[in-house]
Amino acid sequence: MTADGFRRMALQLEGTSEGAHMGHPDFRINGRIFATLHYPDRRWGMVKLSPEEQDSFVRDYQGVFVPCSGAWGRGGCTNVLLKSVKAGILRAALEAAWRRAAAHTATRSKRSR
């Protein structure tokens, strides 16, 4: 997988827009980041999974998915080694992160009514 492939795959998810956060390209649904590129360096992407989803991806694809350091990682932020991840596996991770972000924004908008 390449960074361009990661970008194309993320942008194929309905309602996704590309922005930037702390100098890294990011991908958002309804303003909420669900994935980024180039963190901690250009070899990596990142997906925001639930801690349970993170455990599963890290266990099933060792060396491809790695928890981010610190509190971000404990919360589900998961690095993806681009050169090692297969397209179908990345798609599943991006979709999981997208669904989680979309559900969070839907829940937040219901509470503000």
pLDDT in tens, 38-83: 989 999 999 999 999 999 999 999 999 999 999 999 999 999 999 9
Q: What is the pLDDT of residues 4-30, one digit of tens each?
A: 999 999 999 999 999 998 889 999 999
Residue 81 β-bridge partners: 44
Q: Which amino acid is at 105?
A: T
Q: Which of 6, 24, 23, 3 is nearest to 98 (CA)?
A: 6
Nearest to 44 by CA among 88, 92, 74, 85: 85
**What is 3-84+94-104's CATH number, 3.90.1150.10, 3.30.365.10, 3.40.50.1220, 3.90.1150.30?**
3.90.1150.30
Tokens of 60: 């099933």
* Alpha carbon distance 76, 87 (integer Å): 21
Predicted structure pTM score: 0.91
Distance between CA atoms of residues 45 and 74, nearest Å: 17
- C-alpha 5/C-alpha 104 separation (Å) is 26
Task: Please state the domain extents for the chain.
Answer: 3-84+94-104
